[in-house]
Amino acid sequence: MTKLINGKEISAAIRAEIRQEVASLPLRPGLAVVLVGSDPASQVYVRNKNRACEEVGIYSEMYTLPEETTQEQLLSLIDQLNESPLVHGILVQLPLPKHLNEEEVILRINPSKDVDAFHPANVGKIMIGNYDFLPCTPAGVMELLAYSGIDPAGKECVVLGRSNIVGKPQAMLLLHANATVTICHSRTANLAEVCRRADILVSAVGRAGFVTADMVKDGAIVIDVGINRDENGKLCGDVAFDEVAPKTSYITPVPGGVGPMTITMLLKNTITAAKRAAGLEVHK
Ligand code: GUN
């Protein structure tokens, strides 16, 4: 029997707890979200992030900058946000327009406000297993597994994709949870065969219909991180859901799976940043 992992419901439960925690704090956590350019998908993500902040009582500032923004202008906004006492978390939506240097932008964010956990200082901490900030999407996946009563310890986990945002940190989190982890990518030989070994398959490739039934073992758990559009413009994940779902024990839908969890983890990180700024204790 296939069970659908309902990220919307799990996310709503966690956000209710977050709302209570925010109300109990002696300061109002604040998040600044920066969007450069007019990529429609990024616009939707950024709007959802701001809406989620409102929902739980987190103060938010949104900066929508034109496509032709210069590197200097963007860095100067980050400097200003690094200094702002109202802002505890800074998020610059990626990808940035081609003429901007993403690495330099990430490096400019004060690591103590880096709620995406993209700064090398935070990436290094994730590698060690000492999390100042959770990598949002991978941490969301771990929460979905935990809420579904799935313990990755001792399981074969295959991560499809090696991005800095998802694939690499996802592998680390699964490893820290005592899984046996394989990372696959565009140059992996015998991809379907490797994927068929997975007790837990996490796909973060960004291609509609990429994961097909022949890549999935009977009874596997399939987590779909992809957010794509199909040929009709409909939102879909990486997994060919209709053919794969019947083979699985658990599967996440798109939309309503991992997506809402990413934002929920961002809210958690913003609270963590605010607590640290106020010298309050943070439970890791
Ligand atoms: N683009 C896609 N996912 C993310 C994310 O989690 N954070 C940021 N800043 N940009 C993204």
Of 113, 114, 116, 132, the catalytic one is: 116
Calculate mean pLDDT across residues 47-58. Answer: 97
Please tell me the pTM assigned to this model.
0.97
pLDDT digits (tens, 9 = 90+) for 172-220: 999 999 999 999 999 999 999 999 999 999 999 999 999 999 999 999 9
**pLDDT value of residue 246:** 98
Calculate mean pLDDT across residues 154-178. Answer: 98
Which residue's CA lies nearest to atom 1 of ligand 1? 94
pLDDT digits (tens, 9 = 90+) for 233-255: 999 999 999 999 999 999 999 99
Look at residues 171, 247, 155 and name the one whose alpha carbon lies nearest to residue 204: 171
Q: Which atom of ligand 1 is nearest to the CA of 136?
A: 6
pLDDT digits (tens, 9 = 90+) for 83-98: 999 999 999 999 999 9
Look at residues 39, 40, 38, 58 and name the one whose alpha carbon lies nearest to residue 49: 58
**pLDDT value of residue 180:** 99
Pocket test for ligand 1, best of 81, 109, 113, 116 (most atoms within 8 A of CB): 116
The answer, yes or no, to whether the previous bond of 95 is cis (omega within 30 of 0) is: yes
Distance 1 CA to ligand 1 centre (A): 34
For the cut 80, the answer to whether the pLDDT of residue 224 exceeds it is yes
**pLDDT value of residue 55:** 97
The fraction of the chain above a pLDDT of 90, given in percent, is: 99
Residue 49 annotated to the active site? yes
**pLDDT value of residue 230:** 93
Look at residues 161, 236, 153, 162 and name the one whose alpha carbon lies nearest to residue 200: 153
Describe the strand order of the beta sheet including 156-160 as a list of residue ranges.
3-4, 250-251, 221-224, 200-203, 156-160, 180-184
Cβ count within 10 A of residue 72: 8
Look at residues 83, 220, 244, 218 and name the one whose alpha carbon lies nearest to residue 156: 220
154-171 CB burial, b ≥16 within 10 A, e <16: ebbbbbbbbeebbbbbbb
Pocket test for ligand 1, best of 93, 166, 205, 225 (most atoms within 8 A of CB): 93
Distance 252 CA to ligand 1 centre (A): 20
* C-alpha distances in Å from residue 1, one per residue of 111, 199, 248: 44, 16, 8
Q: Which atom of ligand 1 is nearest to the CA of 42?
A: 1
Residues with CB under 6 A from ligand 1: 91-94, 116, 136-137, 165, 262
pLDDT digits (tens, 9 = 90+) for 11-21: 999 999 999 99
Token pair of 142, please? Answer: 């771990």
For the cut 80, the answer to whether the pLDDT of residue 105 exceeds it is yes
Residue 93 annotated to the active site? yes
Distance 158 CA to ligand 1 centre (A): 22
Residue 43 annotated to the active site? no
Look at residues 132, 116, 127, 136 and name the one whose alpha carbon lies nearest to residue 258: 136
